Structure 1
Amino acid sequence: MAKGYWVCTGTIHTPLGMVSYISAFNSWLEAVGARLLVRDLFSDVREGEPGTVNVIVEFESREAAVAAYDSAEYQKLIELRTPHSDLSVTITEELTDH
């Protein structure tokens, strides 16, 4: 089964305001069986304006990634994050040979 991923890009406006979100997010990732693959707060952006934050989170499947995002627990975490950042989250899956 193909792994699912969150690809997150954007900007953090108030880094200290993100402390509670990051702490809760890291604990939540473990609880849902996800794995943080990339966390770069100062990415070298060459094209476009996605912001300098890049995060990639791996899940067992695309369905697991969608369920995790839609969960009540993560929806509460969004409320901690949004006052301090502008992030986009895309859910996708790995390329597999068919």
Structure 2
Amino acid sequence: MTHYAIANLTNVRVGAGIVEYLERIDATLAPYDGHFIVHGNPPEHLEGEWAGALVVIEFPSYEAARGWYDSPAYQEILPLRTNNSDGVTMIVEGVDRDHVATDVLA
């Protein structure tokens, strides 16, 4: 099942650390078939308030998503992000294309 690494980053301090992180992250994703599907573009606010930059990375499985996050290559660059931004990160499971809203009631 597809899984997503999601981050809502706030107070991003763009400088040498963030630039290096961005230059190196793609190489950490490749071995786990991870790719960006949302990467910080400003949202159109329809309801409520939102602060931060949303990042969503798709992986083919939980094992791939967790393997990427725990990998030595990613752990090496992680402080470049965490020392230069605030926010929350998580891994969530996706749903099949035939999912309907009432499936959560089961």
Q: Give the drift of 1:9.
A: 0.5
TM-aligned CA distance change 1:84 to 1:44, over 3 Å: farther
Aligned residues: 96
RMSD over aligned Cα, in angstroms?
Answer: 2.1
Which residue number corresponds to residue 22 of structure 1?
22
Give 1:92's aligned residue. 92
**Higher mean displacement: 57-66 or 37-46:** 37-46
Moved over 4 A (4+): none
Gaps of 5+ in 1: none
Pairing 1:4-23 to 2, within 5 Å after superposition: 4-17=3-16, 18-23=18-23
Aligned 1:1-98 pairs, distance under 5 A: 2-17=1-16, 18-44=18-44, 46-47=47-48, 51-96=51-96, 97=99
Structure 1 position 13, deviation (Å) = 3.0
Q: Which amino acid aligns with 1:7?
A: I
Structure 1 SS opposite 2:5: strand
C-alpha deviation, 1:64, in angstroms: 1.1
Q: CA shift at 1:10, angstroms?
A: 1.7
Contact 1:3 1:93 in 2 (8 A): yes
Instruction: State, as a whole percentage, how many aligned pairs show the same letter.
Output: 26
When normalised by structure 1's length, the TM-score is 0.81
The amino acid of 1:61's aligned partner reads S
Q: Which amino acid aligns with 2:3?
A: G
Between structures 1 and 2, the one with greater strand share: 1
Q: Distance in 1 between matches of 2:34 and 2:90?
A: 15
Q: Output the CA distance in 1 between the equivalents of 2:33 and 2:55.
A: 16
